């Protein structure tokens, strides 16, 4: 299994695999994405992923990096995250759009959510999303991840390969893969106050 996307993220944010949330929202501007997520628009600060957070944060504040992504916006939250919650996904897709989100929380809570036109239409584990009948199945040709029960007790869960696999499938869905250019470019950081 390949691990290149995971390694690319880790090169920009060393604790990436501890916790992250990513959401792609169709047809929105960066500012509108931030507004729908409930961000403090006055905190808008140009910043690259490696430079997060560009401002002081409180204990429950969420640092959110948002950038253009080929007809979509890509939101990345690495310290804490809520952009993939039901109400946020509904807000991001309201008015005829779509939103696709993944959450990776402390190594054991991995999920994919999809919303369309203000309604969350799908939410399940990453593994189920990629399997036959799952939302990402038609975008998962040639991709697979092992079921946790199929991994021998003496082997670690292949987190890096799983992250790369699901990001590849979502990239196929939205029409663009996350790459080094996007990860190293400055985008706009916002604070969602806790």
Can you give the pLDDT of all 194 residues of the chain as single tens digits?
455 776 777 777 766 666 789 999 999 999 999 999 999 999 999 999 988 888 888 888 999 999 999 999 999 998 788 999 999 999 999 999 999 999 877 656 678 889 999 988 777 777 778 777 777 888 888 887 766 666 667 776 667 777 788 889 999 999 999 998 999 999 999 999 98
pLDDT confidence of residue 1: 42
Nearest to 81 by CA among 51, 129, 124, 113: 113
The span from the CA of 49 to the CA of 74, in Å, is 12
pLDDT confidence of residue 184: 92
What is the secondary structure of 1-14 as a DSSP string? ---HHHHHHHHH-T
pLDDT confidence of residue 20: 85
- The upper half-sphere exposure of residue 17, i.e. CA atoms within 13 Å in the direction of its Cβ, equals 17
Percentage helix, strand, coil for the chain under 3-state DSSP, each rounded to 5: 30, 30, 40
* Residue 114 near residue 135, CB atoms below 8 Å: yes
pLDDT confidence of residue 18: 66
The span from the CA of 122 to the CA of 135, in Å, is 7
**61, 65, 69, 122, 179 from 50: Cα distances, Å:** 18, 11, 18, 31, 14
171 three-class SS: helix
Helices (H), 13-158: 30-37, 86-93, 126-130
pLDDT confidence of residue 158: 66
Structure-block tokens of residue 114? 């999809």
pLDDT confidence of residue 16: 64
pLDDT confidence of residue 31: 99
């Amino acid at each position: 299994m390949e691990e290149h996307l995971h390694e690319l993220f880790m090169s920009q944010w060393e604790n990436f695999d501890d916790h992250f949330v990513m959401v792609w929202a169709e047809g929105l501007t960066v500012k509108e994405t931030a507004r729908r997520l409930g961000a403090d628009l006055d905190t808008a600060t140009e910043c690259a992923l490696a430079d997060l957070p560009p401002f002081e944060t409180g204990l429950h504040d969420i640092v959110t990096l948002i950038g253009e992504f080929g007809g979509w916006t890509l939101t990345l939250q690495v310290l804490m995250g809520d952009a993939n919650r039901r109400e946020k996904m509904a807000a991001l897709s309201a008015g005829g759009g779509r939103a696709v989100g993944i959450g990776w929380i402390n190594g054991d809570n991995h999920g994919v959510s999809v919303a369309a036109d203000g309604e969350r239409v799908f939410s399940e584990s990453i593994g189920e999303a990629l399997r036959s009948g799952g939302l990402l199945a038609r975008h998962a040709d040639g991709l697979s991840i092992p079921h946790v029960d199929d991994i021998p007790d003496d082997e670690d869960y292949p987190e890096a390969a799983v992250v790369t696999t699901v990001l590849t499938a979502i990239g196929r869905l939205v029409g663009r893969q996350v790459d080094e250019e996007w990860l190293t470019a400055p985008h706009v950081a916002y604070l969602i106050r806790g």
